[in-house]
Structure formats: structure tokens, C-alpha cells
């Protein structure tokens, strides 16, 4: 018995299956396009168990006609066929996977339960949800468990999303360029839309749904007003229609000055009636085309972008004007990433100073989106002090999946440990950061491009995956997510998984060590942010200069953010500030972020600061060498193409880790005149050599 809409030619399917059986599944050629949804064939007891059970999905008549339920059935068929290396067909009997998508299961939108059941002496697997999207999420959860060899008859996968918005922010421009993107051109082909919808858009939505992502902002926060014109609304509607069955709502980054730019008004003042009327009409136009349009993301009065402060108005005035236009239909997400060349206070303090006094003034359908740290997606930052400081405003966490400051796509840097750090940080006011953002959500700046493997490197896929999993459940451990992803992406062999997990879990700290150890920050090249540029001190805006952040001279190094300096530390709750107040007791991870100390300051390791700094650089380099060696040990256990890709990227990372280490040490020595600690090698080149390097072709620049 086969479902008519998906009948597979059994003869061809059998031939393909026999051909596939002749090649070990782990070594079958892969290019990365399938992401974590490979459904590579099982073996051993896990395979025999599935074949004995003869699982087949079914849905009630009332559910089966729903497009989202149809997707869930399709996915189960596809996954079960792949895991068993068999044609996609429905057996005539066997163990049913029953989808009940209108149950009274309590919980927020998207919740599901996957459990075995026995009824009238028959056994089966149930996927229960109160709406179709829960069944789709439950189907992916079941397949995720099966792909890791779990027994379907012992599963209990009841789960609900911890936060309502689990969003990707694309910094894609309509011309195809991706700002801070390292995976090729934009995946959005606006030129051919709405007439042609590329299959990649469906595959993208499927991948997002598999990890619970339910919202996508399709364009750059440095927005262009033309994205609000009817020709783009028509194209966006085609995307919205395609993504709706996957539970994904589309959002637009809106340029605040659009009424002036394309609306023929002479102002964008949010309190001007004509401006308010223009936005109301524009919102109505969008909702006529896209009834479930999510809303607007806005970057205003930041880095030269227009905003309400241009007219003497507040961020709340601007956000509330747009919120009024959307009404109960959608949400305004207002970014708190603001700093000004005219403000000579500590850049890390400016967002808090601008937004916290506005607490309680934002409309109910406004969310303020706050970066994980107070500067700008650095390899390590303390959590942003705004979290917990605005109890009457919904705050959303913004993280960066694309590695603008962590080696682009060529450096292996698994970011889940970074996000786990911030999510589990106790704000001292309103619980952990994860608890603060629970009523709103979590956004990730995407690195999803036209490269065949989607993300520029195979391991960068793990960051997309981990973002979705943490946005769904921020209590998950980054180590568990790494192993879960690796089992679906690389291999189920335990020793191989151990090796891959260890590489991933060491990788982010390695990047911190060879780039920005001990709380240093923003030491990257100007504009492109590629490579070290610690010596840059002459840019027009002080807060764009690495020297602004490290403040090194012959006497010492670091940014004093205590009461004797900028006093930015006072923005944190008292118990949090107390942990970081004393340079003698603060974790070395944040030492130079909050304190300026002498080169001879004794660190937590017992080493003088200069010795500890060099040790960290050396440790970062040696960790990358170890990562490369561990990966090399997997030759023959990973398909050749992806093995080679990762090997070559690790070789790049080894070279660039040494570049970072040597250029940094050469510069610090030019400042402090100190000899290297015993046993540490001198930089390979002079400081002048490193300063002479230029990179006009660096990808992802503004």
C-alpha cells in the first residue's frame, strides 16, 4: 500500500538501494547540502529494530489534508526510507506512527509529545500536538532520535519551545551581497521572484523547521527603503506562502526614513500625522498580501542609520509609531545596538544609558533586541547589562551565527559554548538571561548563503543547528548538541563522535586565546574585520580603533570600567558587579575587559600578566594544532570530500592562528619592551611586516 502522491518506482528504488549498499554509508560522497538531515542508513541492532517494526506514518482524515501535516508525513517517509536504506514506500502493515495534530495536549505553540502506545494489543508510536506545526516538529524530533540509533519503543520526547520567537536575521541585500556573510551570495533570488521560487527556499525552510526556527528576517538591518515597495512585497508574499506550512513567518528590516525616501514626504518624524498615516497604509498593504506577516526589524540611530532621534524623539516614540501601524497583527523588533560618535562615554555603556530609562514606555507589541554582549559579537564578552534591567519591556537576545569576529567560515569555531555562557548567566535582577528573554525570543544573524554546503564550511552548519536547538531549549548543553549534530552529520561511530565532539568543544576557547585573550576585544582589521590590527589608532571615530579597547602603553593594558574609569560596571546588578570589581579575584577571562592592570599583575594562574598573555596565545595555537591532528586521525572514517574540505580549512586556521599570535606579540612588545617568557618563540616577522598587510578582497565587508 503506497500513498499515491509519493509513489516511488519500486524497481528503480531497489536498484538504488542495492547500489548504495555496496558503498559504506559513512564514506558515500557528500557535499554538505543535506546538512543534518542526511538520514544516513543505520546498521546493526538499530537497523534490524526498525526493519522488524516496519514503521509507517498515518494521520487522521481531518489532519491528513493539512499542508503542514502532509509535510510531517512526507518527512517521516523520507527519513525512515533513508535510515533503512530502502525505497520511500508505506508498508501494508507493521507499526504505525500515528499523528494526532488537534489533541488537547497543553503547552505553547509548537509543543509536541512523541511516545509509544499500546491499544487493543497493538503497539504504535504516537505524535501528539494541539496544532499541525507541533506534529511537524514532533516528526523531526522522532527522526532525530532514530538517526542516533535510539529505540522508538522507549522514547519519551515531550517538548515545548522555551520562547515564542526563534528567528534568523539575514543581513542580505537585494543585490545579492551579504554583509558579514561568508558562504557565498544571498540565497534570496529577488530577481526571479515571484515567478520562480528556487527549490533552495523549500530546503532552507525544511532545515529551519527541523530545529524549531519559526521566523526569518529576509533583508539587512542596514535596510534599503525599496524593500517596502509593492514589487518586493509581491516577492515576499511568494516566500511567505512557501514557508507557511513549515511554521515560518516572514519579517522585513524597515528603513526608518522610508516615508521620506520612497513615500514623497519631507520628513520621517514619528510624531508627524502624515508619517504615521504612511506607515499605517504600508502595513495594511503588506498584510493584504501576507496575512501572517511577522512585522518589522529596525536598526535606528546606529552607525549612521536614520531614526527618531533625528527629530528629537526617543527610541520608544519610533518603535511605538510602527507598533501602532502593525496593531495586533505583528511585532516591531527594535535593535538596541546603538553607539554614537558624538557620545564620548564608554561605548559598552551607551545602549544601557539610552534604553533603560525608557523601560515601560514601549508598546506591548514591541520587542527590544539586545546583543549578547555590550560591544559587538566579540569572541568573548560579558553578558549585556540590559538583561534584567528592563523588567517592563520584552527583551530578545541577538546572537551572531555568522563568525564576523571569529575567523569567518575558514576557522572552526563552535559557538554554542558562547551562547550557553550568556544564556546561563545570572543577571542578579530577574533570573538568568534565558529567563529574561523567555517571553520574547532569540535571534541569530545568519550565515546562510549560496555555497553548496550553505554555510561556507561544514562545521559552520553546527552553529545554525545549535542556535535553533538552544532557542527551543536553552537548558541544553553545548556538548550534547555537538554530539547530536555530529551523529546526524558525520558518523554514529562512538570513537569518531568522541573525537569530533572534543574538537568542537575546544574550538571556541582556542579562537579566544589566539585572538582576544584575557578579556581583550575588538582587535580586528578595520572594516573587513579580518586578521589582527591592534596598532590601529587613527580612525575618525575613536570607538572604531582597537587602541580604544586595549589602551596599552608601557605601564599596562586594559579598559578600566570600574568606578575609577568609565564605571560601566555599575550598570550590572550589585552581586554581579561584585564578582568583577576586584582585579585580584576576577576571572582572567574578563580581566582586561573591566580592568587596566600592569604588565606584571599576577593573574589567577599565578603568572604575571605578560607571561599569561603569551601563554594564552601559545595555548590557542597549540589547541588548533591538536584539533587538526585529531581530525587527521579520522581519515578513512569520513567521506573523502568533506574530510579534505575540513582538513584544508584547519590548515588555514593553523596558519592564521600563528599570524594572530605573532602579530599580537610583536605589537605588545613594541609597547612594553618586555622579553618573551622562557620557552616562547619569537614572532616569525617584524611588526612592520604585519602592519603592511592589506586585504581589499576580504569577504562580507560592508
Strand ranges across the sheet with 96-100:
56-59, 96-100, 122-128, 113-119
Interacting residues of 688 by C-beta distance below 8 A, sequence separation 6+: none
Dihedral-angle region of residue 360 (phi above 0 means left; psi in -120 to 50 means alpha; beta otherwise): left
Candidates 179, 198, 303, 625; catalytic one: 303
**Do residues 431 and 437 touch, judged by C-beta distance below 8 A?**
no
C-alpha–C-alpha distance, residues 250 and 243, integer Å: 8
Look up 376 and say whether it is catalytic. yes
**Do residues 536 and 545 touch, judged by C-beta distance below 8 A?**
yes
Grid coordinates representing 394?
A: 520584552
Task: Look up cell 560596571; give the residue.
Answer: 569
Interacting residues of 682 by C-beta distance below 8 A, sequence separation 6+: 676
Q: In a 3-state reduction of DSSP, which class is residue 189?
A: coil
Candidates 404, 484, 513, 611; catalytic one: 404
Helix-helix angle 461-472:199-210, to 10 degrees: 50
> DSSP string of 614-625?
HHHHHHHHHHHH
Q: In a 3-state reduction of DSSP, which class is residue 504?
A: helix
For residue 307, give Cα distances in angstroms to 258, 340, 538: 11, 13, 28
Other beta carbons less than 10 A from residue 152's beta carbon: 20
C-alpha–C-alpha distance, residues 401 and 415, integer Å: 8
Look up 31 and say whether it is catalytic. no
Candidates 77, 317, 376, 501; catalytic one: 376
CA 235 to chain centre: 25
Look up 34 and say whether it is catalytic. no
Residues labelled as active-site residues: 303, 376, 404
Amino acid at each position: 500500500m503506497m500513498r499515491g502522491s509519493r509513489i516511488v518506482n519500486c524497481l528503480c528504488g531497489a536498484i538504488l538501494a542495492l547500489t548504495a549498499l555496496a558503498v559504506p554509508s559513512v564514506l558515500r560522497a557528500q557535499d554538505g547540502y543535506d546538512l543534518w538531515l542526511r538520514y544516513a542508513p543505520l546498521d546493526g541492532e538499530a537497523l534490524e529494530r526498525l526493519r522488524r517494526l516496519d514503521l509507517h506514518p498515518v494521520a487522521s482524515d481531518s489532519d491528513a489534508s493539512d499542508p503542514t501535516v502532509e509535510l510531517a508525513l512526507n518527512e517521516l517517509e523520507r527519513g525512515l526510507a533513508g535510515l533503512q536504506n530502502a525505497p520511500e514506500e508505506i508498508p501494508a502493515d507493521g507499526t504505525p506512527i500515528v499523528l494526532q495534530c488537534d489533541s488537547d495536549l497543553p503547552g505553547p505553540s509548537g509543543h509536541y509529545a512523541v511516545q509509544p502506545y499500546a491499544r487493543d494489543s497493538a503497539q504504535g508510536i504516537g505524535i501528539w500536538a494541539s496544532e499541525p506545526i507541533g506534529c511537524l516538529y514532533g516528526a523531526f524530533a522522532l527522526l532525530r532520535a532514530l538517526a542516533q540509533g535510539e529505540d522508538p519503543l522507549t522514547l519519551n520526547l515531550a517538548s515545548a519551545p522555551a520562547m515564542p520567537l526563534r528567528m534568523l536575521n539575514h543581513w542580505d541585500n537585494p543585490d545579492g551581497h551579504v554583509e558579514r556573510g561568508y558562504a557565498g551570495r544571498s540565497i534570496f533570488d529577488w530577481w526571479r521572484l515571484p515567478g520562480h521560487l528556487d527549490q533552495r527556499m523549500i530546503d532552507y525552510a525544511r532545515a529551519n523547521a527541523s530545529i524549531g526556527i519559526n521566523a526569518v528576517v529576509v533583508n539587512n538591518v542596514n535596510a534599503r527603503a525599496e524593500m517596502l515597495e509593492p514589487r518586493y512585497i509581491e516577492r515576499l508574499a511568494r516566500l511567505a506562502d512557501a514557508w507557511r506550512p513549515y511554521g515560518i513567518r516572514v519579517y522585513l528590516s524597515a528603513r526608518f526614513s522610508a516615508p521620506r525616501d520612497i513615500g514623497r514626504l519631507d520628513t520621517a518624524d514619528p510624531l508627524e500625522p502624515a508619517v504615521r498615516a504612511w506607515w499605517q497604509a504600508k502595513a495594511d498593504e503588506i498584510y493584504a498580501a501576507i496575512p501572517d506577516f511577522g512585522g518589522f526589524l529596525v536598526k535606528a540611530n546606529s552607525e549612521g542609520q536614520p531614526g527618531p532621534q533625528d527629530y528629537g524623539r526617543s527610541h520608544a516614540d519610533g518603535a511605538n509609531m510602527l507598533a501602532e501601524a502593525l496593531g495586533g497583527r505583528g511585532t516591531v523588533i527594535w535593535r538596541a545596538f546603538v553607539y554614537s560618535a558624538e557620545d564620548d562615554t564608554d561605548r559598552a555603556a551607551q545602549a544601557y544609558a539610552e534604553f533603560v530609562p525608557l523601560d515601560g514606555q514601549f508598546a506591548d507589541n514591541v520587542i527590544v533586541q539586545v546583543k549578547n554582549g555590550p560591544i559587538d559579537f566579540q569572541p568573548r564578552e560579558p553578558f549585556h547589562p540590559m538583561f534584567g534591567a528592563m523588567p517592563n519591556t520584552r527583551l530578545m537576545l541577538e546572537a551572531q551565527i555568522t563568525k564576523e569576529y571569529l575567523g569567518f567560515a575558514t576557522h572552526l569555531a563552535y559557538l554554542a559554548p558562547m551562547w550557553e555562557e550568556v544564556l546561563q548567566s545570572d543577571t542578579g535582577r530577574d533570573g538568568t538571561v534565558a529567563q529574561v528573554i523567555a517571553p520574547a525570543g532569540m535571534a541569530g544573524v545568519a550565515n546562510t548563503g549560496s555555497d553548496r554546503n550553505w554555510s561556507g564550511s561544514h562545521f559552520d552548519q553546527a552553529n545554525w543547528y545549535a542556535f535553533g536547538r538552544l532557542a527551543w531549549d536553552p537548558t541544553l548543553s553545548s556538548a550534547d548538541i555537538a554530539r547530536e549534530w555530529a551523529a546526524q552529520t558525520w558518523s554514529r561511530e562512538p570513537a569518531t563522535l568522541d573525537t569530533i565532539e572534543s574538537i568542537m568543544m575546544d574550538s571556541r576557547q582556542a579562537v579566544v586565546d589566539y585572538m582576544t585573550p584575557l578579556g581583550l576585544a575588538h582587535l580586528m582589521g578595520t572594516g573587513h574585520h579580518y586578521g589582527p590590527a591592534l596598532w590601529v589608532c587613527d580612525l575618525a571615530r575613536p570607538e572604531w580603533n582597537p587602541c580604544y579597547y586595549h589602551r596599552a602603553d608601557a605601564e599596562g593594558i586594559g579598559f578600566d570600567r570600574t568606578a575609577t574609569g568609565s564605571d560601566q560596571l555599575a550598570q550590572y546588578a550589585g552581586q554581579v558587579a561584585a564578582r568583577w570589581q576586584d582585579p585580584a579575584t576576577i576571572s582572567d577571562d574578563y580581566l582586561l575587559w573591566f580592568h587596566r592592570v600592569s604588565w606584571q599583575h599576577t593573574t589567577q594562574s599565578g603568572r604575571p600578566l605578560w607571561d599569561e598573555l603569551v601563554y594564552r596565545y601559545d595555548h590557542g595555537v597549540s589547541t588548533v594544532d591538536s584539533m587538526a591532528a585529531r581530525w587527521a586521525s579520522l581519515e578513512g572514517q569520513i567521506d573523502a570530500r568533506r574530510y579534505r574540505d575540513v582538513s584544508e580549512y584547519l590548515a588555514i586556521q593553523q596558519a592564521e592562528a600563528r599570524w594572530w599570535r605573532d602579530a599580537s606579540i610583536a605589537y605588545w612588545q613594541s609597547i612594553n619592551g618586555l622579553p618573551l617568557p622562557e620557552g616562547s618563540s619569537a614572532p616569525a616577522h617584524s611588526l612592520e611586516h604585519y602592519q603592511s598587510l592589506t586585504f581589499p578582497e576580504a569577504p562580507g565587508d560592508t
